[in-house]
Amino acid sequence: MVTPTKTKVDKTGDTAVMRFEGDITSASESAVLGTYNALDGDVRKVLLDFSHVPYLNSSGIALVIQLLMAAGKASRKVVCFGLSPHFIKVFTMLGLAKYTTLHVDEAAARTATA
């Protein structure tokens, strides 16, 4: 059974942390892209928190790629943290490291955007 995706945004200054909870699939478009598109225009750095995402399928990864492409066009820096070792491998194999960096935890992700 797929757990619906919820997204909470914590914003401080020009940095927003998008905290995902639940599975990220094709049904997650509004939670991923909708939330990203609703960010304030003054956001320059986006941290994606995957620490409460147990499942991410190919459609969900496609949504993350769309977010990364939109961020690149908007000159926003995006970093990811909280991915399981399996999804770190998947993101690396897919070449997402060209568009984002992967970090173990939020502290490391924040340091990378400082």
Q: Would you say residue 1 has pLDDT above 90? A: no
Domain boundaries, the chain: 6-113
CB-CB neighbours of 39 under 10 Å: 16
- Render pLDDT for 63-103 as a digit per residue (tens, 0 to 9): 999 999 999 999 999 999 999 999 999 999 999 888 999 99
What stretch of H or E contains 62?
Answer: helix 58-73
Specify whether domain 6-113 bears CATH 3.90.420.10: no
- Render pLDDT for 19-45 as a digit per residue (tens, 0 to 9): 999 999 999 999 999 999 999 999 999
Q: Indicate the pTM of the whole model.
A: 0.95
CB-CB neighbours of 69 under 10 Å: 11
Burial of 18 (0-12, 13-18, 19+ CB in 10 A): buried
Q: Give the pairing of strands 45-52 and 77-81.
A: parallel
